Amino acid sequence: MYIAAIIILAYLLGSIPSGLIVGKAGYGIDIREHGSGNLGGTNTFRTLGVKAGLLVTAADILKGTLAASLPFLFGFEGVHPLLIGVFAVIGHTYPVFAGFKGGKAVATSGGILLFSAPLMFVTMLAVFFLFLYLTKYVSLSSMLTGIYAVVFSIFYGDVILTSVVSVLALFVIYRHRANIKRIKEKTEPKVKWI
């Protein structure tokens, strides 16, 4: 029963719609009505600017980190934090507080890895910005970083880590299927600041 409560709490943490809150509270804008309509950090950057984008991205990462830490905080150290953290990713993607239409799972997935495998998270950040510099596509960089994470996790030697990261990477790619189509059609927006 306690595990079920932690799972529900992790989902509810993930469901906190950072982009919606920042947009409405700070700018009087519902970002779902602008840009891609997505609640994640990328659309926030494009719609509201750097300050709001950084705030939303940080909040989305920390949702995952806090959710992954719940087994430790509540004394269930035998429960792998990634298995709980995944429910925050589900909440972020399908948030009960925002009509089940959320982000694309990237930042919150990174957040659960920040708690469970911090070295991996740091290298993923570096790899993401390398891909972003080379491609100028946030979406493609996110997907390639997910693939990198799978490779890294294999060498990490943790079966649960590899399994969860593989599922998350596939999910991130699935969530970016519209972006993949736009990349092929050369209509996907590129970043200009890197």
Instruction: For residues 32 and 38, give the distance between their C-alpha atoms in angstroms, rounded to a whole number.
Output: 6
Confidence of residue 37 (pLDDT cuts 50, 70, 90): confident
- Nearest-CA neighbor of 22 among 103, 90, 134? 103
Note the pLDDT of residue 15.
97
- Nearest-CA neighbor of 156 among 118, 126, 127? 118
* Coil/strand/helix, residue 5: helix
Confidence of residue 192 (pLDDT cuts 50, 70, 90): confident
Note the pLDDT of residue 78.
85
Q: What is the pLDDT of residues 81-140, one digit of tens each?
A: 999 999 999 999 999 999 999 999 999 999 999 999 999 999 999 999 999 999 999 999
For 1, the token pair is 């029963």
Note the pLDDT of residue 28.
93
